[in-house]
Protein backbone atom coordinates (compact mmCIF):
# COMPACT_ATOMS: atom_id res chain seq x y z
CA UNK A 1 0.00 0.00 0.00
CA UNK A 2 1.42 3.34 -1.07
CA UNK A 3 0.89 5.65 1.93
CA UNK A 4 3.61 8.25 1.39
CA UNK A 5 1.59 10.07 -1.24
CA UNK A 6 -1.11 10.79 1.34
CA UNK A 7 1.16 12.17 4.09
CA UNK A 8 0.31 15.84 3.55
CA UNK A 9 -3.39 14.99 3.63
CA UNK A 10 -3.06 12.80 6.71
CA UNK A 11 -1.35 15.67 8.54
CA UNK A 12 -4.46 17.80 8.17
CA UNK A 13 -6.88 15.17 9.50
CA UNK A 14 -7.70 14.60 13.14
CA UNK A 15 -6.28 11.26 14.25
CA UNK A 16 -6.78 8.44 14.86
CA UNK A 17 -8.69 7.02 11.91
CA UNK A 18 -8.85 3.94 9.73
CA UNK A 19 -7.66 4.47 6.19
CA UNK A 20 -8.63 2.20 3.28
CA UNK A 21 -6.76 2.25 -0.01
CA UNK A 22 -9.39 1.67 -2.68
CA UNK A 23 -6.89 0.87 -5.45
CA UNK A 24 -5.50 -2.00 -3.41
CA UNK A 25 -9.03 -3.08 -2.49
CA UNK A 26 -9.95 -3.36 -6.16
CA UNK A 27 -6.75 -5.19 -6.99
CA UNK A 28 -7.37 -7.63 -4.15
CA UNK A 29 -10.89 -8.37 -5.32
CA UNK A 30 -9.74 -8.78 -8.91
CA UNK A 31 -7.02 -11.22 -7.98
CA UNK A 32 -9.25 -13.29 -5.69
CA UNK A 33 -11.95 -13.46 -8.34
CA UNK A 34 -9.49 -14.39 -11.07
CA UNK A 35 -8.04 -17.35 -9.18
CA UNK A 36 -11.39 -18.56 -7.87
CA UNK A 37 -12.40 -19.08 -11.48
CA UNK A 38 -10.10 -22.10 -11.56
CA UNK A 39 -13.03 -23.82 -9.88
CA UNK A 40 -16.35 -24.18 -11.70
CA UNK A 41 -19.51 -22.68 -10.17
CA UNK A 42 -17.54 -20.91 -7.46
CA UNK A 43 -18.56 -17.95 -5.33
CA UNK A 44 -16.44 -16.05 -2.86
CA UNK A 45 -18.37 -14.64 0.07
CA UNK A 46 -16.97 -11.71 1.99
CA UNK A 47 -17.01 -12.55 5.70
CA UNK A 48 -18.58 -9.27 6.67
CA UNK A 49 -17.56 -9.57 10.28
CA UNK A 50 -14.00 -8.64 9.20
CA UNK A 51 -15.08 -5.33 7.70
CA UNK A 52 -18.52 -3.95 6.89
CA UNK A 53 -17.57 -0.51 5.64
CA UNK A 54 -20.11 0.75 3.10
CA UNK A 55 -17.60 1.60 0.38
CA UNK A 56 -15.92 -1.77 0.76
CA UNK A 57 -19.28 -3.57 0.58
CA UNK A 58 -20.18 -1.61 -2.50
CA UNK A 59 -16.99 -2.53 -4.39
CA UNK A 60 -17.25 -6.11 -3.22
CA UNK A 61 -20.79 -6.32 -4.51
CA UNK A 62 -19.83 -4.79 -7.87
CA UNK A 63 -17.07 -7.37 -8.21
CA UNK A 64 -19.68 -10.14 -7.96
CA UNK A 65 -18.92 -11.50 -4.49
CA UNK A 66 -21.47 -12.85 -2.03
CA UNK A 67 -21.70 -12.34 1.73
CA UNK A 68 -21.06 -14.49 4.76
CA UNK A 69 -23.10 -13.01 7.60
CA UNK A 70 -22.95 -13.99 11.25
CA UNK A 71 -25.84 -11.89 12.57
CA UNK A 72 -29.20 -10.48 11.56
CA UNK A 73 -27.64 -7.03 11.59
CA UNK A 74 -25.08 -8.09 9.00
CA UNK A 75 -27.81 -9.55 6.76
CA UNK A 76 -29.75 -6.28 6.93
CA UNK A 77 -26.66 -4.20 6.25
CA UNK A 78 -25.75 -6.41 3.25
CA UNK A 79 -29.26 -6.06 1.82
CA UNK A 80 -29.05 -2.27 2.27
CA UNK A 81 -25.78 -2.35 0.34
CA UNK A 82 -27.52 -3.98 -2.59
CA UNK A 83 -26.76 -7.66 -2.10
CA UNK A 84 -29.66 -10.00 -2.75
CA UNK A 85 -30.72 -12.60 -0.20
CA UNK A 86 -29.59 -15.33 -2.58
CA UNK A 87 -26.00 -14.08 -2.20
CA UNK A 88 -25.98 -14.40 1.58
CA UNK A 89 -24.97 -17.38 3.70
CA UNK A 90 -25.79 -17.06 7.40
CA UNK A 91 -23.46 -18.70 9.93
CA UNK A 92 -23.14 -18.66 13.71
CA UNK A 93 -23.68 -20.97 16.69
CA UNK A 94 -26.25 -18.79 18.41
CA UNK A 95 -28.75 -17.40 15.91
CA UNK A 96 -31.75 -15.87 17.67
CA UNK A 97 -35.34 -16.27 16.44
CA UNK A 98 -35.32 -12.67 15.33
CA UNK A 99 -32.18 -13.21 13.28
CA UNK A 100 -33.53 -16.38 11.71
CA UNK A 101 -36.64 -14.44 10.68
CA UNK A 102 -34.48 -11.76 9.05
CA UNK A 103 -32.83 -14.55 7.06
CA UNK A 104 -36.19 -16.09 6.08
CA UNK A 105 -37.65 -12.70 5.14
CA UNK A 106 -34.77 -12.10 2.77
CA UNK A 107 -34.81 -15.61 1.26
CA UNK A 108 -31.13 -16.09 1.96
CA UNK A 109 -29.02 -18.65 0.13
CA UNK A 110 -28.64 -20.88 3.19
CA UNK A 111 -28.43 -21.16 6.93
CA UNK A 112 -25.14 -22.72 7.98
CA UNK A 113 -26.34 -24.61 11.02
CA UNK A 114 -24.42 -25.97 13.95
CA UNK A 115 -26.88 -28.07 15.94
CA UNK A 116 -30.10 -30.10 15.70
CA UNK A 117 -32.12 -27.75 17.95
CA UNK A 118 -31.22 -24.95 15.56
CA UNK A 119 -32.57 -26.94 12.61
CA UNK A 120 -35.82 -27.57 14.48
CA UNK A 121 -36.29 -23.88 15.24
CA UNK A 122 -35.54 -22.84 11.66
CA UNK A 123 -38.11 -25.39 10.49
CA UNK A 124 -40.76 -24.08 12.90
CA UNK A 125 -40.16 -20.44 11.97
CA UNK A 126 -40.01 -21.24 8.23
CA UNK A 127 -43.31 -23.09 8.50
CA UNK A 128 -44.93 -20.10 10.16
CA UNK A 129 -43.75 -17.89 7.26
CA UNK A 130 -44.74 -20.44 4.62
CA UNK A 131 -41.14 -20.78 3.44
CA UNK A 132 -38.60 -23.52 2.98
CA UNK A 133 -35.10 -22.81 4.26
CA UNK A 134 -31.90 -24.18 2.73
CA UNK A 135 -29.72 -25.81 5.34
CA UNK A 136 -25.99 -26.29 5.08
CA UNK A 137 -24.51 -28.29 7.92
CA UNK A 138 -21.34 -27.04 9.49
CA UNK A 139 -19.24 -30.10 9.99
CA UNK A 140 -16.40 -30.11 12.43
CA UNK A 141 -13.70 -31.94 10.47
CA UNK A 142 -11.28 -32.20 13.40
CA UNK A 143 -8.37 -30.63 11.53
CA UNK A 144 -5.68 -28.60 13.26
CA UNK A 145 -5.22 -25.35 11.36
CA UNK A 146 -1.85 -24.70 13.03
CA UNK A 147 -2.78 -21.20 13.99
CA UNK A 148 -3.27 -19.42 17.33
CA UNK A 149 -5.48 -21.48 19.67
CA UNK A 150 -7.98 -18.63 20.06
CA UNK A 151 -8.66 -18.74 16.31
CA UNK A 152 -8.66 -22.49 15.77
CA UNK A 153 -12.21 -23.63 15.15
CA UNK A 154 -12.14 -27.05 13.50
CA UNK A 155 -11.05 -29.31 16.35
CA UNK A 156 -13.36 -31.64 18.27
CA UNK A 157 -12.81 -29.59 21.41
CA UNK A 158 -14.19 -26.40 19.78
CA UNK A 159 -17.81 -25.35 20.14
CA UNK A 160 -18.36 -25.20 16.39
CA UNK A 161 -20.13 -27.51 14.01
CA UNK A 162 -21.61 -30.98 14.12
CA UNK A 163 -19.36 -34.00 14.71
CA UNK A 164 -18.77 -36.25 11.72
CA UNK A 165 -20.47 -39.23 13.40
CA UNK A 166 -23.66 -37.19 13.70
CA UNK A 167 -23.75 -35.97 10.11
CA UNK A 168 -25.92 -38.61 8.47
CA UNK A 169 -28.52 -38.70 11.29
CA UNK A 170 -28.66 -34.90 11.09
CA UNK A 171 -29.32 -34.99 7.35
CA UNK A 172 -32.04 -37.62 7.90
CA UNK A 173 -33.56 -35.34 10.48
CA UNK A 174 -33.66 -32.46 7.96
CA UNK A 175 -35.24 -34.75 5.35
CA UNK A 176 -38.00 -35.60 7.81
CA UNK A 177 -38.91 -31.99 8.51
CA UNK A 178 -41.36 -30.13 6.27
CA UNK A 179 -39.84 -26.67 5.85
CA UNK A 180 -36.11 -27.22 5.61
CA UNK A 181 -34.08 -28.70 2.74
CA UNK A 182 -30.64 -30.24 2.99
CA UNK A 183 -28.51 -28.01 0.80
CA UNK A 184 -24.86 -28.49 1.55
CA UNK A 185 -21.84 -28.94 3.74
CA UNK A 186 -20.00 -26.13 5.47
CA UNK A 187 -16.54 -26.09 7.03
CA UNK A 188 -14.37 -23.50 8.70
CA UNK A 189 -11.20 -24.64 10.39
CA UNK A 190 -9.68 -21.42 11.68
CA UNK A 191 -8.26 -18.07 10.84
CA UNK A 192 -4.92 -16.60 9.69
CA UNK A 193 -3.98 -19.95 8.13
CA UNK A 194 -0.66 -19.90 6.30
CA UNK A 195 0.06 -23.61 6.32
CA UNK A 196 -1.74 -24.56 3.11
CA UNK A 197 -1.37 -28.26 3.91
CA UNK A 198 -4.44 -27.81 6.16
CA UNK A 199 -6.57 -27.08 3.11
CA UNK A 200 -5.32 -30.21 1.42
CA UNK A 201 -6.25 -32.21 4.53
CA UNK A 202 -9.65 -30.53 4.53
CA UNK A 203 -10.20 -31.38 0.84
CA UNK A 204 -9.36 -35.04 1.40
CA UNK A 205 -11.67 -35.17 4.39
CA UNK A 206 -14.50 -33.65 2.37
CA UNK A 207 -13.93 -36.24 -0.37
CA UNK A 208 -14.37 -39.03 2.18
CA UNK A 209 -17.49 -37.41 3.60
CA UNK A 210 -19.02 -37.03 0.14
CA UNK A 211 -18.27 -40.64 -0.61
CA UNK A 212 -19.98 -41.75 2.58
CA UNK A 213 -23.04 -39.58 1.87
CA UNK A 214 -23.38 -40.90 -1.65
CA UNK A 215 -23.30 -44.41 -0.22
CA UNK A 216 -26.48 -43.35 1.61
CA UNK A 217 -28.01 -41.83 -1.54
CA UNK A 218 -27.63 -38.33 -0.13
CA UNK A 219 -27.05 -35.61 -2.74
CA UNK A 220 -25.21 -32.46 -1.71
CA UNK A 221 -25.78 -29.30 -3.77
CA UNK A 222 -23.10 -27.10 -2.31
CA UNK A 223 -19.71 -27.32 -0.64
CA UNK A 224 -18.57 -24.37 1.44
CA UNK A 225 -14.99 -24.60 2.60
CA UNK A 226 -15.13 -21.52 4.84
CA UNK A 227 -12.40 -18.94 5.14
CA UNK A 228 -9.25 -18.50 7.11
CA UNK A 229 -6.69 -17.72 4.44
CA UNK A 230 -3.96 -15.74 6.18
CA UNK A 231 -2.07 -12.59 5.22
CA UNK A 232 1.54 -11.49 5.69
CA UNK A 233 1.48 -9.25 8.75
CA UNK A 234 5.28 -9.04 8.83
CA UNK A 235 5.83 -7.85 5.28
CA UNK A 236 2.57 -6.25 4.20
CA UNK A 237 4.27 -3.91 1.76
CA UNK A 238 6.05 -6.75 -0.03
CA UNK A 239 2.95 -8.98 0.04
CA UNK A 240 -0.08 -6.72 -0.16
CA UNK A 241 -2.29 -9.44 -1.60
CA UNK A 242 -2.97 -12.82 -0.01
CA UNK A 243 -1.94 -15.98 -1.79
CA UNK A 244 -5.26 -16.62 -3.50
CA UNK A 245 -3.56 -18.61 -6.24
CA UNK A 246 -2.28 -21.35 -3.92
CA UNK A 247 -5.50 -21.39 -1.91
CA UNK A 248 -7.75 -22.07 -4.90
CA UNK A 249 -5.14 -24.24 -6.60
CA UNK A 250 -5.21 -26.67 -3.65
CA UNK A 251 -8.98 -27.05 -3.78
CA UNK A 252 -8.84 -27.37 -7.55
CA UNK A 253 -6.30 -30.14 -7.21
CA UNK A 254 -7.60 -32.11 -4.22
CA UNK A 255 -11.28 -31.41 -3.73
CA UNK A 256 -13.49 -33.66 -5.83
CA UNK A 257 -16.56 -31.63 -6.63
CA UNK A 258 -19.47 -33.23 -8.41
CA UNK A 259 -20.55 -31.65 -11.72
CA UNK A 260 -23.74 -30.14 -10.30
CA UNK A 261 -22.16 -28.79 -7.13
CA UNK A 262 -21.53 -25.16 -6.31
CA UNK A 263 -18.35 -24.21 -4.50
CA UNK A 264 -18.29 -21.47 -1.89
CA UNK A 265 -15.63 -19.95 0.31
CA UNK A 266 -15.89 -17.21 2.92
CA UNK A 267 -12.90 -14.95 3.20
CA UNK A 268 -12.59 -12.15 5.72
CA UNK A 269 -9.05 -11.28 6.59
CA UNK A 270 -7.59 -12.10 3.16
CA UNK A 271 -10.08 -9.78 1.46
CA UNK A 272 -9.78 -6.85 3.85
CA UNK A 273 -6.65 -6.74 6.03
CA UNK A 274 -3.96 -5.35 3.78
CA UNK A 275 -5.67 -2.32 2.29
CA UNK A 276 -6.47 -0.91 5.73
CA UNK A 277 -4.18 1.07 8.03
CA UNK A 278 -4.76 2.61 11.42
CA UNK A 279 -3.41 6.16 11.20
CA UNK A 280 -2.41 7.59 14.54
CA UNK A 281 -0.34 10.49 15.93
CA UNK A 282 2.40 10.43 18.50
CA UNK A 283 1.26 12.28 21.59
CA UNK A 284 4.47 11.94 23.56
CA UNK A 285 7.79 10.19 23.47
CA UNK A 286 8.65 9.06 26.95
CA UNK A 287 12.09 7.84 27.97
CA UNK A 288 12.61 5.73 31.05
CA UNK A 289 15.86 4.30 32.31
CA UNK A 290 15.78 1.27 30.05
CA UNK A 291 12.95 1.92 27.58
CA UNK A 292 11.67 4.41 25.13
CA UNK A 293 7.91 4.67 24.61
CA UNK A 294 6.16 6.24 21.66
CA UNK A 295 2.66 6.96 22.96
CA UNK A 296 0.03 7.30 20.24
CA UNK A 297 -3.55 8.55 20.24
CA UNK A 298 -5.03 5.17 19.25
CA UNK A 299 -5.37 2.45 21.80
CA UNK A 300 -6.66 -1.06 22.00
CA UNK A 301 -10.23 0.22 22.20
CA UNK A 302 -9.78 0.96 18.49
CA UNK A 303 -7.97 -2.21 17.72
CA UNK A 304 -9.16 -4.90 20.02
CA UNK A 305 -7.49 -7.73 18.14
CA UNK A 306 -4.09 -6.92 19.56
CA UNK A 307 -5.08 -8.10 22.96
CA UNK A 308 -7.32 -10.90 21.68
CA UNK A 309 -4.62 -13.07 20.21
CA UNK A 310 -1.41 -11.09 20.27
CA UNK A 311 -1.56 -10.04 16.65
CA UNK A 312 1.61 -8.45 15.35
CA UNK A 313 1.15 -5.61 12.96
CA UNK A 314 3.86 -3.66 11.27
CA UNK A 315 4.05 0.02 12.22
CA UNK A 316 5.77 2.70 10.18
CA UNK A 317 6.53 6.34 10.92
CA UNK A 318 5.34 8.30 7.90
CA UNK A 319 6.86 11.61 8.93
CA UNK A 320 10.42 10.82 10.00
CA UNK A 321 13.41 9.58 8.04
CA UNK A 322 15.93 10.01 10.84
CA UNK A 323 18.17 7.14 12.01
CA UNK A 324 16.29 4.27 13.64
CA UNK A 325 15.82 3.63 17.34
CA UNK A 326 13.96 1.11 19.45
CA UNK A 327 10.52 1.92 20.84
CA UNK A 328 7.60 0.37 22.60
CA UNK A 329 4.60 1.64 20.67
CA UNK A 330 1.73 2.06 23.13
CA UNK A 331 -1.72 3.58 23.44
CA UNK A 332 -3.13 5.85 26.15
CA UNK A 333 -5.26 3.31 28.00
CA UNK A 334 -4.70 2.37 31.58
CA UNK A 335 -3.91 -1.27 30.71
CA UNK A 336 -0.54 -2.88 30.17
CA UNK A 337 -1.96 -4.79 27.21
CA UNK A 338 -2.59 -1.54 25.36
CA UNK A 339 0.49 -2.01 23.27
CA UNK A 340 1.03 -2.14 19.51
CA UNK A 341 4.58 -3.36 19.56
CA UNK A 342 7.48 -3.98 21.92
CA UNK A 343 11.03 -3.04 20.99
CA UNK A 344 10.10 -2.15 17.46
CA UNK A 345 12.45 -0.23 15.23
CA UNK A 346 11.26 3.17 14.05
CA UNK A 347 13.07 6.18 12.68
CA UNK A 348 13.66 8.65 15.51
CA UNK A 349 10.19 9.65 16.55
CA UNK A 350 8.82 12.82 18.07
CA UNK A 351 5.58 14.33 19.25
CA UNK A 352 3.24 14.94 16.30
CA UNK A 353 4.68 12.24 14.01
CA UNK A 354 2.18 10.17 12.11
CA UNK A 355 2.39 6.42 12.56
CA UNK A 356 0.58 3.95 10.31
CA UNK A 357 -0.24 0.57 11.77
CA UNK A 358 -0.53 -1.67 8.75
CA UNK A 359 -2.74 -4.65 7.87
CA UNK A 360 -5.53 -3.11 9.94
CA UNK A 361 -8.45 -3.54 7.55
CA UNK A 362 -9.66 -6.84 9.02
CA UNK A 363 -11.25 -7.05 12.48
CA UNK A 364 -10.24 -3.46 13.13
CA UNK A 365 -12.97 -0.87 12.90
CA UNK A 366 -15.71 -3.47 13.33
CA UNK A 367 -14.47 -4.12 16.86
CA UNK A 368 -13.74 -0.54 17.85
CA UNK A 369 -15.35 0.65 21.06
CA UNK A 370 -15.95 3.96 22.78
CA UNK A 371 -14.11 2.95 25.91
CA UNK A 372 -13.21 5.97 28.08
CA UNK A 373 -15.95 8.06 26.41
CA UNK A 374 -13.77 8.51 23.36
CA UNK A 375 -15.60 9.19 20.09
CA UNK A 376 -15.91 6.20 17.79
CA UNK A 377 -12.97 6.15 15.40
CA UNK A 378 -13.73 7.16 11.80
CA UNK A 379 -13.04 5.38 8.53
CA UNK A 380 -11.67 7.33 5.57
CA UNK A 381 -11.07 5.90 2.11
CA UNK A 382 -8.50 7.06 -0.41
CA UNK A 383 -11.41 8.27 -2.56
CA UNK A 384 -12.43 10.71 0.15
CA UNK A 385 -9.04 12.43 0.36
C1 LIG B 1 -14.83 -15.68 10.73
C2 LIG B 1 -15.36 -16.59 9.73
C3 LIG B 1 -14.88 -16.54 8.42
C4 LIG B 1 -13.79 -15.61 7.97
O5 LIG B 1 -12.59 -15.87 8.58
P6 LIG B 1 -11.24 -15.20 8.05
O7 LIG B 1 -10.19 -15.83 8.86
O8 LIG B 1 -11.33 -13.74 8.31
O9 LIG B 1 -11.12 -15.51 6.60
C10 LIG B 1 -15.45 -17.39 7.50
N11 LIG B 1 -16.42 -18.26 7.85
C12 LIG B 1 -16.89 -18.33 9.10
C13 LIG B 1 -17.97 -19.29 9.41
C14 LIG B 1 -16.38 -17.51 10.08
O15 LIG B 1 -16.84 -17.61 11.33
Alpha helix positions (H), the chain: 7-11, 22-36, 54-62, 72-80, 97-105, 116-129, 167-175, 197-215, 244-254, 269-272, 305-309
Measured between alpha carbons, how far is 224 from 262 in angstroms, rounded to an integer?
Answer: 8
The answer to whether 142 and 118 have CB atoms below 8 angstroms apart is no
- DSSP for 85-123 reads GGGEEE--TT--HHHHHHHHHTT-SEEEE--HHHHHHHH
Residues of the chain with pLDDT under 50: none
Please tell me the distance between residue 381's alpha carbon and the centre of ligand 1 in angstroms. Answer: 24
Determine whether the shortest distance from the Cβ of 271 to ligand 1 is under 6 A.
no
CA of 13 relative to ligand 1 center, distance in Å: 33
Which among 45, 47, 202 is the best mutation to test ligand 1's pocket, defined by most ligand atoms within 8 Å of the CB? 47
* Ligand 1 atom closest to residue 191's alpha carbon, by position in its atom list: 7
Question: Under a CB-based contact definition with an 8 Å cutoff, are residues 271 and 29 in contact?
Answer: yes
| Ligand 1 pocket residue status of 114, Cβ below 6 Å | no
Q: From the CA of 230, give the closest atom in ligand 1.
A: 7
- CATH fold match for the domains 22-272 and 276-384: no
| Exposure on the CB side of residue 171, measured as CA atoms within 13 A | 25
Q: Tell me the CA–centroid distance for residue 270 and ligand 1, in Å.
A: 10
Q: 154 CA distance to ligand 1 centroid (A)? A: 12
Instruction: Specify the pTM.
Output: 0.95
The pLDDT assigned to 336 comes to 80
CA of 307 to the centre of ligand 1 (A): 19
CATH number belonging to domain 276-384: 2.40.37.10
**CA of residue 299 to ligand 1 center, whole Å:** 25
| Per-domain residue ranges of the chain | 22-272, 276-384
| CATH fold label, 22-272 | TIM Barrel (3.20.20)
Q: Is 268 in the pocket of ligand 1 (CB under 6 A)?
A: yes
How far is C-alpha 211 from the geometric centre of its chain's CA atoms?
Answer: 30
pLDDT computed for residue 334 by the predictor: 85
Amino acid sequence: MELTKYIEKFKKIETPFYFYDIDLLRQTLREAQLHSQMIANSTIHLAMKANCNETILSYTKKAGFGIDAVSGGEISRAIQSGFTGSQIAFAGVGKTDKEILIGLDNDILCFNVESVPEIEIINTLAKACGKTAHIAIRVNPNIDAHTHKNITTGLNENKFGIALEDLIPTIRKIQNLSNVDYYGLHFHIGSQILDMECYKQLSLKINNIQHALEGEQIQTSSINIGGGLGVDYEHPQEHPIADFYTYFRIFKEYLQLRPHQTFHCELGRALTAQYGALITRVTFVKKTRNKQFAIVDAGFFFFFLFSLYQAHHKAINLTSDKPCEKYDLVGPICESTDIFGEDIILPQTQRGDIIAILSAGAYGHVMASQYNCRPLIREITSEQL
